[in-house]
Chain A
Amino acid sequence: SYVLTQPPSVSVAPGQTARITCGGNNNGRKSVHWYQQKPGQAPVLVVYDDSDRPSGIPERFSGSKSGNTATLTITRVEAGDEADYYCQVWDSTSVVFGGGTKLTVL
């Protein structure tokens, strides 16, 4: 089965830039979606199709991909961005989530 690999944790100071990666052996041929989940809440879609942003998501959130590694970038990080972030792809008829990355704002 397809595996998405994310770092367990990323830490960043307020106002700095956070980058969360998502690796998969064929991500270059797949569209990657990203979700933010705060404690006790449902996930929220923040980036879809590698780099598109749903309406209502701040421009500080952006996505990119290089080879088989997708990256979620959050600029000018705020305390409210502290959350778990998950990448997701489709592998044929199955949905695959990465293990999640806990973003800590120092």
Chain B
Amino acid sequence: EVQLVESGGGLIQPGGSLRLSCAASGFTVSSNYMSWVRQPPGKGLEWVSVIYIGGSTYYADSVKGRFTISRDNSKSTLYLQMNSLRVEDTAVYYCARGGVGATVAFDIWGQGTMVTVSS
């Protein structure tokens, strides 16, 4: 079965760090665009970061310089290293596979992991 399972969320103080993981099964993360998307409580979807098949990485301005996306091909796992966390980073974080479309659409999503930044 093709699926994504996130882990690593939790409660963290402002200024702290957290690493999210997203384990893929049924496909390899290195063969697809992979992205992180977040959703603050009661709000809409917000794109965070993407890693291309070739390894290039891109970030939303709101997280640039603080977050790092990476992948471990041997473990077929996507990561999001989050440093210097802010209260406004509080959200459910989803990983998603860019698996269809002439311009990549996200066809597989994980169940999400909650990150709460609060003192």
A-to-B contact residues, CB < 8 Å: 1, 30-31, 33, 35, 37, 42-45, 48-49, 52, 54, 84, 86, 88-90, 93-100
Q: How far is the CA of A88 from the CA of B100 in the complex (A)?
A: 13
A45 touches B44 (CB 8 A): no
Q: How far is the CA of A94 from the CA of B35 in the complex (A)?
A: 11
The verdict on B27 contacting chain A, using a C-beta distance below 8 Å, is: no
Residues from chain B with a CB closer than 8 A to the CB of A48 are: 100-101, 105, 107
Residues of B within 8 A of A (CB-CB), count: 25
A71 to chain B, nearest CB (A): 17
- Partner of B46 from the list A30, A52, A97 (CB cut-off 8 Å) is A97
Q: How far is the CA of A12 from the CA of B12 in the complex (A)?
A: 42
Q: How far is the CA of A30 from the CA of B111 in the complex (A)?
A: 28
A52 touches B44 (CB 8 A): no
Extra 9 A-B pairs, beta carbons < 8 Å, given A31-B103, A35-B45, A97-B37: A43-B94, A45-B100, A45-B107, A48-B105, A54-B100, A86-B44, A93-B58, A94-B47, A95-B47
A49 touches B105 (CB 8 A): yes
Q: How far is the CA of A94 from the CA of B59 in the complex (A)?
A: 7
Q: How far is the CA of A96 from the CA of B105 in the complex (A)?
A: 11
- Partner of A86 from the list B35, B45, B101, B111 (CB cut-off 8 Å) is B45
B44 touches A97 (CB 8 A): yes
The verdict on B60 contacting chain A, using a C-beta distance below 8 Å, is: yes
- Which residues of B in the span 21-70 have a Cβ within 8 Å of any Cβ on A? 35, 37, 44-47, 50, 56, 58, 60-61
Residues from chain A with a CB closer than 8 A to the CB of B100 are: 45, 48, 52, 54
A31 touches B102 (CB 8 A): yes
